[in-house]
Structure 1
Amino acid sequence: MPTARRLAHEFLDRRGLTTVFGNPGSNELPFLAELPDHFRYVLGLHEGAVVGMADGYAQATGRPVLVNLHAAAGSGNAMGALTNAVYSRSPLVLTAGQQVRTAIGLEAMLANVDATQLMRPLVAWSGEPSCAEDVPRSLAQAVFEAELHRRPTYLSVPYDDWAVELTETATLDRHVQRGLTPSEAQLDDLAKRVAAAKNPALVLGGDIDATGLFDRAVALAEHLGLPTWVAPSPHRLPFPNRHRLFRGVLPAGIAPVSAALTGHDLVLVLGAPVFRYHQHVPGAYLPEGTRLIQVTDDFGAAARAPMGEALVADPGPVIEALLSKVPARTFEKDHVENPEPRTGEKALHPEQVFAALRGTQESDTRYVVESTSTNSAWWRQMDLRREGSYFFPAAGGLGFGLPAAVGVAMGSPDRPVVGVIGDGSANYGITALWTAAHYRVPVTFVILRNGVYGALRWFGELLGTPDVPGTEIPGLDFTAIAAGYGVEATTARDEEDLRTQLKATPDGPRLIQVDTEPTTPE
């Protein structure tokens, strides 16, 4: 008779979850035993880095990913990175080992007390099988819940369950599909309202890029000549940022968003919450006379929105309906030229670094960015025209950049990957360098070293608290740190040297440290 372990491995194999990101402890070893030879186990040295890598891998592939964590302590280490995966809507299937059943109530060492509550409310579903016979079904539910909700799930399994012999189960053959197609009447009504609007605008969210709708969203904007914004706090780029119709990323405050949308009688929001604010700048949610219609397949995002109307549906059919039902409008089809980069006095300005990246990297490069104080410089200089070109920590949790760059590179070996990471952010996920070196992942890390937490300084000014401690981080040498983890590392002396180094094509990971002047997000 097969064991629960063998049935679990068979189910995962049939579902294509054969890449496992993990950092094992004693409770996890019985699950990992007898892992099929064609499975790939990717070891991370800290659970935060493990989840960050899996998040990047899931976003790059668009598929669920299995993550194996250690009981309560390891799961706790992962929770910071998990917040980003929740808001990027990455379908991570988190599994964790649990003490043997007879030891849980005793709170023995490494028992995960009340395991199903540990990761809530972050995960979409959390469970622990009621008995060994329930292990295959529980694992299947964790996978299906992650796929249906497009959100991480969590399953704790007592480690003595894995060796229990079970009868074959129908769970192995199960398939669950997701479909949210709006009715023809709903599509007709939306098309009429868009066609009747005198000055409509389009706002796109990260879900457009994540679900493969980048090109279709561009086609819609061009078909209707719609000025197009990206929703606040984007973790993906759903529209070419040098396109003539691109109006930028909406500011992350209530009043500034309202001001930006002034003059538009209809705002159509596709694949985004309405809205993910950051800075507390109160005011009217929308300008007077402006109507907003949100189209999202995220039930929670539709329910919690403070204004406008919502259609809970897959944005894909909505885009196609608008393309066919609304008459075309004309606009000038070209791209906006990049401005000359600003220059620094004592070190390179971040715009010089980004201009160098734009001038040396392939047009299909994927950028994983975690340098929050340089956002305005980034959007001024980059020219991103391909889907899947931009990844950012969706919840703002630091430690995403380095691990996610590794995961994105492992998940998309056909495209170059560059991680653009601030020196403050890099420390939170630094152990990902070892994984990059160990698996020879072809990824370039560009570390912007300015010696400060630039975003905190900016917020200090906004909040009227410019004199708080803990915003300076001098003395960091990432070339030495990277060398210790086995990653080739250099320092760029000036802009010409940086361009020369960036033109080289690595066959494994490399790190380039660049001294830059402190800037603010603006």
Structure 2
Amino acid sequence: MAKSIREVTFELLRELGLTTIFGNPGSTEETFLQDFPADFRYVQTLHESSAVGAADGYAQATRHPALVNVHTSAGLSNSMSNILTAFMNRTPLIVTAGNQTREMLLMEPWLTNIEPETLPKPWVKWSYQPIRAEDVPAAFMRAYAAALQPPAGPVFLSIPLDDWDKPALGQPVVRSVATRIGADPRRIAQFADALSSATNPTLIYGSAIARGDGWEQAIKLAEKLNIPVWAAPASERPPFPENHPLYAGGLPFALGLLSKKLASYDLAIVIGAPVFRYYPYVAGSYLPDGLRLLHITDDPEEAARAPVGESLLCDAVLALETLIEQVKARPSRATSVEKQPHRMAPHPAASVSAVDGQLTALELFQTLRESTPETTVLIEESPSNLGEIHTAWPINHPDSFYTFASGSLGWNLPASVGIALAERDSGRNRPVLAIIGDGSFQYSVQGLWTAAQQRLPILFVVPRNGEYAILKSFGQFQKNPGVPGLDLPDLDIVSLAKGYGCTGVRAQTLDEVRQVCAEAFSRSGPTVLEVPITPTVPSLI
């Protein structure tokens, strides 16, 4: 008797190591999930966006694709914000959804995904609904290959609910997939010569180095050249240790200011980042006079849309390894590199004092850093406090800091669940701490339930300023007075945490913060710490 499409597909997923599924089940997905195999794990979330965020964090922390199952067009629509983030994070995800039975698709019944290939675009690399049920296993194999091949990213499959019980044509075909692309030898030799002959060059590193586990290579190239290292604007993962003597900081997130930062150099090479991320608009030239820009990326579209620079398509870490071999060593610098105290942040910490006994953001974050293990993994989604976070918490270890590349709120809370799950699965068991603003916290608060159900000892810290401070900052910068809806009164973070099964605590002193840190990581389950802080409107740039 022929095996069913379901049986053959689960055999393929098993061969590919995709035995953990993140999801929120719906009626059109139950035929896929029925008789769920005992060697698979279903990580349930209460919202599809949380499923995608958790899968993204898990895939990044394991460096392996992850599988997500959402509910037809409704669930896919719910998940789009975090699919956007996964696309910009370059995270290999296979996002699947059911659809109505093929017999009814023509009349578009309730809960039909009418144009399944179109809905998730442009934020997936490939989107497909198989023409026939027999093609489902092969479609999964193609989805896996497309998600992994550079530049990595999410893909989408829509599968009508009546496909799963139909007979398969045979055993699934499992293929290996290349995940790195090498450089044109002549072109990279030219880049190496340019670096070697420049009078005052600099390195600009991007998150692709961190994704490729390339800190060691990044350090070797910087030390051989003995030149400053900048993090590309708005890097979602740090590409270089911030305590290294050659580290200068993060480049500004605005055109004119970035150009000024590079004014003293005659050559800059960007490795593993776009040229460049800008927001907000600050007038100026793309590059200062006299600066030559080189750009290495594994994404042809990223290379094509760069407004300036000479591009080379290559995996970031392979490029580093080749450049290390080919560049000429430079003597040690006579003077040390001038460092930004706020490191990767686009703006410095606010200069404020405590009001009415409330802590400042900087006091809170300094205490968190002092009170947690050195190996702690930090996840951040508190846009108005970036200067304070990065001032207080230098990132000196690889894979110890994560944030979202898209700017779309609601990723970091569920992503911290996936990251903590990966820490447990891998046996690393590093503590996980997520700093999430009281406004950002509301976008995916239901992710707390999954953390509680999985008994993950995450410490969620919510600096409670009672406002969308970053939007007030934009309002000041753009001269937009009188904007409504920027205050957040009457939120009770502790009650929300308890409602989802977490330990909820409110701390108002540094000693209370220290006590929570001492207890949180040994607890069987997550802790949510609400800390009222002095409201400030940060400098935007």
- The match for 2:345 is none
Aligned residues: 521
Partners in 1 of 2:535 and 2:286 — Cα distance?
A: 33
1:80 CA drift (Å): 1.1
Partners in 2 of 1:471 and 1:397 — Cα distance?
A: 17
Partners in 1 of 2:360 and 2:377 — Cα distance?
A: 22
- The match for 1:345 is 355
Contact 2:436/2:462 (<8 A) preserved: yes
The one-character-per-residue Cα deviations of 1:447-483 (angstroms, maximum 9, x if unpaired) are 1100000110000011101320010001111111100
Q: Kindly provide the amino acid, as one letter, of the partner of residue 321 in structure 2.
A: E
Contact 1:241/1:379 (<8 A) preserved: no
For structure 1, list consecutive stretches of 5 or more residues without a partner in the other structure: none
1:133 CA drift (Å): 1.0
> What is the CA RMSD across the aligned residues, in angstroms?
1.8
- The match for 2:166 is 164
- The match for 1:506 is 522
- The match for 2:346 is none
Q: Kindly provide the amino acid, as one letter, of the partner of residue 325 in structure 1.
A: Q
- The match for 2:248 is 247
Partners in 1 of 2:55 and 2:24 — Cα distance?
A: 12
Partners in 2 of 1:337 and 1:255 — Cα distance?
A: 18
- The match for 2:57 is 56
1:242 CA drift (Å): 3.1
Contact 1:203/1:229 (<8 A) preserved: yes
1:245 CA drift (Å): 1.9
The correspondence for 2:479, drawn from 453, 461, 464, is 464
217-226 or 147-156: bigger deviation: 217-226
- The match for 2:382 is 371
Partners in 1 of 2:400 and 2:154 — Cα distance?
A: 23
The one-character-per-residue Cα deviations of 1:71-97 (angstroms, maximum 9, x if unpaired) are 000100000111111110111100000
Contact 1:215/1:387 (<8 A) preserved: no
The one-character-per-residue Cα deviations of 1:156-212 (angstroms, maximum 9, x if unpaired) are 00011100012314x433222233111432332211110001111111111111111
Q: Does 1:17 align with 2:33?
A: no
Partners in 2 of 1:335 and 1:232 — Cα distance?
A: 18
Q: Kindly provide the amino acid, as one letter, of the partner of residue 386 in structure 1.
A: H
Q: Kindly provide the amino acid, as one letter, of the partner of residue 184 in structure 1.
A: P
3-state SS in 2 of match to 1:26: coil
After superposition, the Cα gap between the structure-2 partners of 1:218 and 1:417, relative to the gap in structure 1 and judged at 3 Å, is same
1:258 CA drift (Å): 0.4
> How high is the sequence identity, in percent, across the aligned residues?
39
The one-character-per-residue Cα deviations of 1:118-139 (angstroms, maximum 9, x if unpaired) are 1011110000000011111111
After superposition, the Cα gap between the structure-2 partners of 1:172 and 1:34, relative to the gap in structure 1 and judged at 3 Å, is farther
- The match for 1:269 is 270
214-223 or 114-123: bigger deviation: 214-223
- The match for 2:222 is 221
Matches within 5 A, 1:52-451: 52-148=53-149, 149-169=151-171, 171-329=172-330, 330-331=332-333, 343-346=353-356, 347-413=358-424, 414=428, 415-451=430-466
Partners in 2 of 1:337 and 1:87 — Cα distance?
A: 26
Partners in 1 of 2:189 and 2:505 — Cα distance?
A: 58
Q: Kindly provide the amino acid, as one letter, of the partner of residue 352 in structure 1.
A: E
Please report the TM-score for the alignment, with normalisation by the length of structure 2: 0.93
For structure 2, list consecutive stretches of 5 or more residues without a partner in the other structure: 343-348
Partners in 1 of 2:420 and 2:460 — Cα distance?
A: 11
1:374 CA drift (Å): 0.6
3-state SS in 1 of match to 2:17: coil
1:338 CA drift (Å): 7.4
1:430 CA drift (Å): 0.2
Partners in 1 of 2:339 and 2:270 — Cα distance?
A: 24
Contact 2:141/2:174 (<8 A) preserved: no
Contact 1:338/1:381 (<8 A) preserved: no
3-state SS in 2 of match to 1:428: helix
Partners in 1 of 2:175 and 2:247 — Cα distance?
A: 43
Q: Kindly provide the amino acid, as one letter, of the partner of residue 506 in structure 1.
A: S
Contact 1:343/1:351 (<8 A) preserved: no
The one-character-per-residue Cα deviations of 1:485-521 (angstroms, maximum 9, x if unpaired) are 1100111121122122212233321111111122315
Please report the TM-score for the alignment, with normalisation by the length of structure 1: 0.96
After superposition, the Cα gap between the structure-2 partners of 1:352 and 1:286, relative to the gap in structure 1 and judged at 3 Å, is same
3-state SS in 2 of match to 1:25: coil
Q: Kindly provide the amino acid, as one letter, of the partner of residue 151 in structure 1.
A: G
408-417 or 67-76: bigger deviation: 408-417
The one-character-per-residue Cα deviations of 1:245-264 (angstroms, maximum 9, x if unpaired) are 22221111111110111111
